[in-house]
Structure 1
Amino acid sequence: MKKFVLATLIAAALTGCAADDPNKRTKTGAAVGAAAGALLGYAVDDGTGGVVAGAAVGALAGAGVGRYMDNQQREFEQALADEQARNELQIQQLENETLKIDIASEVSFDFDSASLKSAFTPTLNKVADVLQRYPKTVIHVVGHTDSVGSESYNQRLSERRAQSVADYLASHGVERSRLYATGRGELEPRATNETEAGRQLNRRVELFVKPIVEGQESEAYQAP
């Protein structure tokens, strides 16, 4: 019964969030939080207003998640505007309040190397600076390669590159406990490996910045 009530509340709440609303993410978070909070209040209601208290707490937490991630995205876009203009990286928001920063390997690593290019470290300094101001997030660093070379070699290279980025961020103020590095090798191409242009798109490092949400803390630590 409680699950049905929660689903009904969330569905009703989301119906009120316009698809083209620029504040959709914040409002959606608030709506879902309010629905979850209301159900929590219902579950512990002792007849003294527990439902109201639960709803209020849920709504605040929900809206807070959206605002927190919206503000963080805004700071990333401001700090990395030059890099975006040069197509060195892309910043996007995902449906689950996660921010994704997609970094081209050509600007971050030399060919067949897991050592960061010195010219790219100022960009990572900016990333680290923003991440330090938003400590309620977990950062997943994921490395990818093209299909040139053996699958096992590409897997190791992607892991080493992801670890290099994570190590650099940790050495510049981001708590290591927030950083998780992994490699996907050649397994997740986003373009064909039959052309140089496609292989260039496939060689990349992605940063997934996931919020730590009260009551759902473990989800932030799950691989994207």
Structure 2
Amino acid sequence: MISIRRTRAPVIALLTATLAVTACAGDPNRRAKIGGGVGTAVGGAIGSLLGDHSTTNTAIGMAVGALTGAGVGHYMDRQKAELNEKLAEQQAADQLSITELGNNTLQVGVASDASFPVDSANLTPTAQNTFNSIANVLKDYDKTAIHVVGFTDSTGSTQHNLELSENRAQSVAQFLGSRGVSSQRLLTWARGETEFVASNDTETGRAQNRRVAIIIKPIVEGQEKQAFTAPPNLGNPQFNSP
């Protein structure tokens, strides 16, 4: 169970929330129906769309600590530098990328093909080594919220792709949790076959669209809620026209 603790206060249980997705492969509006993604808190049977619960978000922020002033940028810069150092080999092999999204937010984009067998949510041994390195950095920078976002290409049905992206995001988040990243900081989002970064007309493009993104947001004092709201659209507008 996910729990949030204030100093010397009772545990605050997160409310369960369910997002029903109704779409089929033949529906021309299927992207719009699932484009917002499914958001879930990780760590147990209780899930919540945390972005819609400001009180809960603020409580989590207060529990893990918050950053202030100019220290926010410095903190995130140090974290990015350490991620670059620990993951240099994977970046050189084009297995992942580390970028800035603005507002002191970082993105670690990991190729699904380098992480999972085909149509599976089980992490490969190689991927476990990669995510272990990521976890070792994230657990040392605990004043951040960690969003794990799953994506697929457009092959297969909408529902299957949504479920696969959700399962893969959950698999990564649970692995990070098992390596010491607090479950209070972890959220997963399933975006299925939306937010493409390349064309689905080629195998190379489809491979780029099959991915998992780790979005790292600083928890800023007085703005704790923002760290736990849904990540922005992570696709390339060129490949996501209506």
TM-score by length of 1: 0.72
Quote the offset at 1:62 in angstroms.
Answer: 2.0
> Relative CO higher for 1 or 2, CA cutoff 8 Å, sep ≥ 6?
2
1:111-126 equivalence runs, <5 A: 111-126=118-133
Between the aligned partners of 1:137 and 1:187, the Cα distance in structure 2 is 26
The whole-number CA distance in structure 2 between the counterparts of 1:130 and 1:106 is 23
Q: What SS does the corresponding residue of 1:100 show, helix, strand or coil?
A: strand
Which has more helix, going by share of residues?
1
SS at match of 1:94: strand
Matched, 1:77 2:84: yes
* 1:192 CA drift (Å): 1.0
Q: Identical aligned pairs, as a percentage?
A: 53
C-alpha separation in 1, matches of 2:114 and 2:185:
25
2:194 is aligned with 1:187: yes
Q: Which residue of 1 aligns with 2:152?
A: 145
CA distance in 2, matches of 1:149, 1:61: 45
Q: Which amino acid counterpart does residue 185 of structure 2 have in structure 1?
A: R
Deviation at 1:123, TM superposition (A): 0.9
Q: Name the counterpart of 1:104.
A: 111
Residue identity in the other structure for 1:127: I
Instruction: Report deviation, 1:209.
Output: 0.4
List structure 1 segments (4+ residues) > 3 angstroms apart after TM superposition.
none
Gaps of 5+ in 2: 1-66, 232-242
Q: Distance in 1 between matches of 2:68 and 2:181?
A: 24
Per-residue deviation at 1:61? 2.5
TM-score by length of 2: 0.67
Q: What amino acid maps onto 1:182 in structure 2?
A: W
The residue matched to 1:87 in structure 2 has which SS? coil
Q: Deviations over 1:65-102 (max 9, x none)?
A: 00000000000000000000000000011211001000
| Structure 1 gaps, min length 5 | 1-59
Corresponding residue pairs, total: 165
